[in-house]
């Protein structure tokens, strides 16, 4: 998996901005990503999870749907890590992209 | 304060030097476009303007659209920090309403500044374009302060600047010329025996008949 280009990273932020928890406290990366997944579940916007995996992996859902759910989760975790999701959200917040 | 920096994009090094006035105003125009695109939630427009900012700052037409997003953002932030004015001038703290005049056009910022400096000092466009950023902003503040003082003088000579009682009404100054008023919270104790007795009439008030 490769880091996203700026246009796609901005789309990723748009998909996940409402699900990313506030940064702080002593939580490790896995807990942080787990919280994002929990927030997606709670919001009932499950498509955001799928769309984010499709965007980050560069694969179609038609290819991904045959994967095991844990493999999809692995792609999600790797994608967020490679794309420095916290830095991405901070940048988009700073630039006023998340004010809407 | 840094006047230059090196940014790395796609493994290639680019030298970033502090922009002179004309280039800096172009960069500020692009920055405004970025902010507007963000306000409109125009994400493709936002991204296009970020690339445009890099191209203007680095004077290149290279295609950055396939590079990792964090390289672009890091370069953007480095360029931004090199081009921050060093002087902390009151004029820079003035808040803009963001409203555009009907005769506005793209790139007007530069012509507006060029007009002010040419009128004030008789400088050529080429000379104004190459002004150091801090010099330009400080000089602009001086020109605007002079203009205001001149206007205050003209205002003082007009009849409308006095009320019916002959009291002079001051011409309001722009916010940046008013300075920062620090409230004096220290209490001064005065002996009771020193306090005035009866009705107090101040020099600047006319007692009621």
The secondary structure of A8-43 as a DSSP string is HHHHHHHHHTTTPPPP-SS--HHHHHHHHHHHHHHH
What is the nearest CA distance from A84 to chain B, expressed in angstroms?
A: 8
Please compute the mean of the pLDDT values over residues B193-209 and round it to a whole number.
Answer: 61
Please check whether residue B162 is in contact with residue B168, taking contact to mean a CB–CB distance below 8 angstroms.
Answer: yes
Residues of chain A contacting residue B72, judged by C-beta atoms under 8 Å apart:
6
Find all residues with CB under 8 Å of A36, minimum gap 6, and list them.
Answer: A16, A19, A20, A21, A80, A85
For chain B, what are the domain ranges? 1-84, 86-180
Q: Tell me the residue length of chain A.
A: 100
Question: Locate tokens 């290279």: which residue?
Answer: B62
Residue range A53-73: average pLDDT?
A: 92
What is the pLDDT confidence band of residue B209, given thresholds at 50, 70 and 90? Answer: very low
Instruction: Quickly tell me which residue has 């002996």 as its tokens.
Output: B191
Q: Give yes or no for A8 touching B (CB within 8 A).
A: yes
Confidence class of residue B163 from pLDDT cuts 50, 70 and 90?
Answer: confident
Which of A48-52, B159-163, B188-192 has maximum average pLDDT?
A48-52
Local structure of residue B15 (DSSP, 8 states): E
**Which among B26, B20, B19, B179 has a CA at the least distance from the CA of B93?**
B179
What pLDDT does B57 receive? 95
| Rounded Cα–Cα distance for residues B39 and B37 (Å) | 5
Contact between B33 and B86 under an 8 Å Cβ cutoff? The reply is: no
Q: Cβ of A69 under 8 Å from any chain B Cβ? A: no
pLDDT at position B183 over 60 = no
3-state secondary structure of B9: strand
Longest dimension (CA), chain A: 39
Q: Distance between CA atoms of B68 and A8, rounded to whole angstroms?
A: 10
Of B35, B43, B73, the CB nearest to A91: B73
Using the 8-state DSSP alphabet, how is residue B161 labeled? G
Cβ-based contacts of B65 with chain A (< 8 Å)? 5-7
State whether B38 and A88 contact (CB < 8 Å).
no
Give B106-146 pLDDT, tens digit per residue: 888 899 999 999 999 999 999 999 999 999 999 999 999 99
């Amino acid at each position: 998996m490769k880091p996203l280009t700026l246009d796609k990273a901005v789309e990723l932020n748009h998909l996940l901005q409402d699900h990313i928890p506030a940064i702080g406290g002593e939580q490790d990366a896995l807990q942080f990503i787990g919280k994002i997944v929990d927030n997606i579940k709670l919001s009932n916007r499950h498509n955001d999870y799928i769309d984010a995996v499709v965007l980050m992996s560069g694969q179609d859902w038609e290819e991904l749907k045959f994967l095991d759910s844990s493999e999809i989760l692995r792609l999600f975790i790797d994608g967020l890590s490679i794309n420095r999701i916290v830095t991405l959200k901070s940048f988009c917040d700073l630039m006023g992209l998340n004010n809407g | 304060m840094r006047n230059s920096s090196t940014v790395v994009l796609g493994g290639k090094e680019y030298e970033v030097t502090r922009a002179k006035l004309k280039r800096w105003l172009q960069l500020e125009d692009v920055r405004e476009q970025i902010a507007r695109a963000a306000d409109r939630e125009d994400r493709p427009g936002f991204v296009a303007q970020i690339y445009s900012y890099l191209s203007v700052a680095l004077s290149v037409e290279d295609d950055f659209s396939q590079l990792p997003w964090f390289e672009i953002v890091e370069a953007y932030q480095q360029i931004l920090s090199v081009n921050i004015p060093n002087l902390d001038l009151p004029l820079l703290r003035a808040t803009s309403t963001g409203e555009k005049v009907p005769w506005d056009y793209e790139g007007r910022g530069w012509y507006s500044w060029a007009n002010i400096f040419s009128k004030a000092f008789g400088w050529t466009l080429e000379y104004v374009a190459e002004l150091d950023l801090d010099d330009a902003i400080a000089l602009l503040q001086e020109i605007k302060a002079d203009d205001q003082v001149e206007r205050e003088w003209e205002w003082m000579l007009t009849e409308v600047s006095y009320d019916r009682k002959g009291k002079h009404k001051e011409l309001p100054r722009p916010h940046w010329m008013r300075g920062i008023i620090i409230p004096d919270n220290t209490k001064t104790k005065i002996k009771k025996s020193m306090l005035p007795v009866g009705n107090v009439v101040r020099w600047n008030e006319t007692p009621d008949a």
